[in-house]
């Protein structure tokens, strides 16, 4: 195995011995070595500027574009590198570990947007958005809604209607990575002729039509990712900017947005954890305590911290890459174009929830342990560890949050997938019966009267039957 280098010297962190390289192809290892060089050359230095100045990492995106990474997963016939899900996890992890976690998160959203278009490719979408990617065209996903918080699959404040042969789109998003900086935004709204919250549609909106206020963005970590609110205010778009058929939103979420986002963002959390371990190795093997003649790394306590962090993080890395491999197998290495109604990645969604939960939990825990291992020196900004600590904390709270995920998994295991009820449509008879039991006869009559009046109102709003 080639040695890992940093500016022509042996890398100061963990060697390739501790990377699960049997999961990568030779080409993917070459791409990783190239990315590590790019991180050393400029991208890591830019991470500090993004963090200090809340600066969008555009220069890092230019570097990625110059080297073909903005179309990593796009088929070669459309100008891409034709790579698969495992390659995507490798790129996200490498960027976060050696370069810039904010860039890595913007990159996750970029490839998420690109992959959502490529789920339902049309000649128009390919010409306008896919072929120009390596001219540094940046995409992003805008799903979160101010009214529904981390339930990002529930676009309460957004809508679309038919207009002039195309569509008029209204979108309000509370958070959008690259908000105000992206060239195109893949957004989800309720469908025209909306029938209920599982009736969602996906559109692509050009950057010039998106109102954003990047100056409002200020956060604990991932400070360069500029995840501010955006608004699309009744913008008219041509019919060829709908992505997939109308009503395809839920399928598109399950088959593109969630799988790509979850394997990519989990890889960012794993990259941040590995980056913190690299820094801890560098510091603890160099710092000496003259009184006892030992380096910090010679204390068994510090060895325990690092050993446990490496094992836990590698468990998360192999877990993520294994799910990515499953998606590669189901999609013929990301070459299969799925018909509407066909699924492949979606069949592994409940695995993707698990990898995100574990990776986000792991990084939040072990960046703290690496800080403890480095002592007060790690608390100071010059070592860079404190940036990794702050960046790592975004994992747990980013939607789907870890609270939501562990409940999804526990509920699905115990009660079945239907019990998840994403759009609040299933009536919970047990809860209602339990609550009505608490009412006396008068209370029950009062409730029955209210329900009867509500039923009359609902009925009067329903379209008349022919
Ligand atoms: C750095 C960063 C970048 C982001 N980028 C994007 C982006 O590009 N695009 C995008 O669409 N969104 C993005 N988001 C938003 C993210 O996906 C979530 O929507 C957001 O973090 C939720 O924040 P909130 O304050 O609305 O949380 P809330 O939803 O109000 O949650 C508050 C608390 O309630 C808990 N909770 C919520 N629902 C349940 C439930 N059903 N059961 C149990 N507990 C529950 C949560 O876990 C949390 O502990 C980003 C977030 C961050 C931090």
pLDDT (tens digit per residue) in 369-415: 999 999 999 999 999 999 999 999 999 999 899 999 999 999 999 99
The mean pLDDT value of the chain amounts to 95
Q: What would the pLDDT profile of 212-269 be if each residue is shown by its tens digit?
A: 989 889 999 999 999 999 999 999 999 999 999 999 999 999 999 999 999 999 999 9
Q: What is the pLDDT, as a whole number, of residue 2? A: 78
Q: How far apart are the first and last CA of the chain?
A: 74
Determine how β-strand 139-142 pairs with β-strand 184-190.
parallel
Q: Which helix (H) or strand (E) holds 184?
A: strand 184-190
On whether residue 264 sits in a domain, the answer given is no
Q: What is the pLDDT, as a whole number, of residue 156? A: 82
Q: What is the pLDDT, as a whole number, of residue 147? A: 82
Domain final position from 214, 232, 249: 249
Distance 204 CA to ligand 1 centre (A): 23
* d(C-alpha 424, C-alpha 431), whole Å: 14
Whether residue 146 has pLDDT greater than 90 = no
Q: What is the pLDDT, as a whole number, of residue 85? A: 98
> To the nearest whole percent, how much of the chain has pLDDT over 70?
99
In this structure, of 77-81, 171-175, 347-351, 457-461, the range with the lowest mean pLDDT score is: 457-461
Q: What is the pLDDT, as a whole number, of residue 197? A: 79
Residue 182 lies in domain: 134-249
> To the nearest whole percent, how much of the chain has pLDDT over 90?
90
On whether residue 19 sits in a domain, the answer given is no
Compute the residue count for the chain. Answer: 466
**pLDDT, average across residues 4-27:** 97
On whether residue 94 sits in a domain, the answer given is no
Domain final position from 249, 269, 299: 249
- Here the CATH number for the domain that contains residue 205 is 2.40.110.10
* Whether 273 contacts 305, CB under 8 Å: no
| Distances from the Cα of 113 to the Cα of 260, 374, 423, 438, 453, angstroms | 9, 38, 23, 49, 45
Provide the phi-psi class of 68: left if phi over 0, else alpha when psi is between -120 and 50, else beta: left
Ligand 1 site, residue 403, Cβ cutoff 6 A: yes
Distance 402 CA to ligand 1 centre (A): 9
* Whether 183 contacts 138, CB under 8 Å: yes
What is the number of domains present in the chain?
2
Structure token pair of residue 306:
């690092």
Q: What is the pLDDT, as a whole number, of residue 465? A: 56
Sheet bearing 211-212, strands edge to edge: 159-163, 166-176, 228-237, 211-212
Nearest protein Cα to ligand 1, atom 17: 399
On whether residue 384 sits in a domain, the answer given is no
Give the residue among 23, 48, 45, 21 at the shortest CA–CA distance from 33.
21
Q: What would the pLDDT profile of 87-113 be if each residue is shown by its tens digit?
A: 999 999 999 999 999 999 999 999 999
203 three-class SS: strand
**pLDDT, average across residues 21-48:** 98
Locate the ligand 1 atom nearest the alpha carbon of residue 144 and give its number: 11
On whether residue 166 sits in a domain, the answer given is yes
Ligand 1 site, residue 360, Cβ cutoff 6 A: no
- Which residue from 144, 264, 363, 393 has its CB within 8 A of the most atoms of ligand 1, so it is best to mutate? 144
* d(C-alpha 81, C-alpha 252), whole Å: 23
Domain final position from 249, 276, 309: 249
Q: What is the pLDDT, as a whole number, of residue 461? A: 79
**Burial code of 174-197, b = ≥16 C-beta within 10 A, e = fewer?**
bbbbbbbbbbbbbbbbbbbeeeeb
Locate the ligand 1 atom nearest the alpha carbon of residue 397 and give its number: 21
Whether residue 308 has pLDDT greater than 60 = yes
On whether residue 158 sits in a domain, the answer given is yes
Q: What is the pLDDT, as a whole number, of residue 1? A: 60
- Which residue from 106, 181, 398, 400 has its CB within 8 A of the most atoms of ligand 1, so it is best to mutate? 398
Report the predicted TM-score, pTM, of the whole model to 2 decimal places: 0.96
Q: What is the pLDDT, as a whole number, of residue 6? A: 98
Residue 464 pLDDT level (bands cut at 50, 70, 90): low
On whether residue 399 sits in a domain, the answer given is no
On whether residue 3 sits in a domain, the answer given is no
CA dihedral 88, 94, 100, 102 (to 10 degrees): 30
State CA 463 to chain mean position distance: 40
* d(C-alpha 390, C-alpha 394), whole Å: 8
Distance 400 CA to ligand 1 centre (A): 7
Q: What is the pLDDT, as a whole number, of residue 422? A: 85
């Amino acid at each position: 195995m080639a040695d890992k280098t940093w500016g022509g010297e042996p890398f100061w962190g963990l060697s390739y011995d501790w990377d699960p390289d049997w999961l990568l192809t030779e080409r993917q290892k070459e791409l990783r070595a190239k990315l590590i060089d790019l991180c050393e050359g400029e991208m890591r230095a830019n991470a500090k500027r993004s963090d200090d100045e809340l600066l969008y990492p555009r220069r890092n995106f230019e570097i990625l574009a110059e080297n073909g990474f903005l179309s990593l997963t796009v088929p070669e016939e459309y100008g891409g590198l034709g790579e698969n899900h495992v390659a995507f996890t490798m790129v996200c992890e490498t960027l976060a570990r050696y370069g810039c976690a904010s860039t890595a998160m913007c990159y996750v959203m970029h490839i998420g947007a690109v992959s959502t278009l490529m789920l339902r490719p049309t000649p128009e979408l390919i010409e306008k958005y896919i072929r120009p990617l390596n001219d540094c065209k940046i995409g992003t996903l805008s799903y979160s809604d101010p009214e529904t918080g981390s339930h990002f699959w529930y676009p309460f404040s957004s809508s679309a209607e038919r207009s002039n042969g195309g569509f008029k789109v209204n979108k309000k998003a509370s958070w959008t990575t690259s908000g105000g900086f992206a060239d195109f935004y893949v957004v989800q709204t309720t469908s025209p002729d909306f029938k209920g919250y599982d009736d969602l549609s996906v559109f692509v909106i050009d950057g010039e039509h998106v109102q954003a206020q990047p100056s409002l963005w200020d956060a604990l970590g991932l400070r360069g990712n500029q995840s501010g609110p955006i608004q699309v205010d009744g913008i008219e778009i041509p019919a060829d900017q709908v992505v997939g058929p109308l009503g395809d939103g839920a399928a598109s979420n399950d088959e593109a947005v969630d799988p790509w986002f979850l394997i990519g963002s989990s890889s960012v959390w794993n990259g941040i954890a590995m980056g913190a371990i690299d820094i801890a190795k560098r510091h603890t093997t160099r710092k000496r305590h003259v009184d006892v003649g030992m380096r910090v790394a010679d204390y068994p306590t510090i060895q325990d911290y690092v050993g446990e962090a490496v094992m836990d993080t590698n468990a998360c890395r192999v877990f993520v890459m294994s799910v990515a491999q499953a998606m590669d197998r189901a999609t013929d290495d990301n070459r299969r174009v799925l018909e509407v109604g066909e699924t492949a990645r979606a069949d592994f969604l409940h695995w993707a929830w698990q990898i995100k939960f574990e990776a986000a939990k792991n990084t939040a825990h072990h960046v703290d342990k690496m800080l403890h291992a480095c002592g007060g020196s790690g608390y100071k900004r010059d070592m860079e560890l404190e940036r990794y600590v702050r960046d790592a904390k975004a994992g747990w709270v980013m939607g789907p949050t870890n609270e939501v995920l562990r409940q999804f998994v526990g509920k699905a295991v115990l009660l079945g997938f239907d019990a998840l009820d994403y759009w609040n449509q299933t009536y919970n008879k047990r809860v209602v019966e339990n609550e009505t039991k608490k009412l006396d006869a008068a209370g029950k009559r009062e409730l029955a009267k209210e329900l009867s009046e509500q039923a009359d109102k609902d009925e009067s709003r329903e379209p008349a039957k022919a």
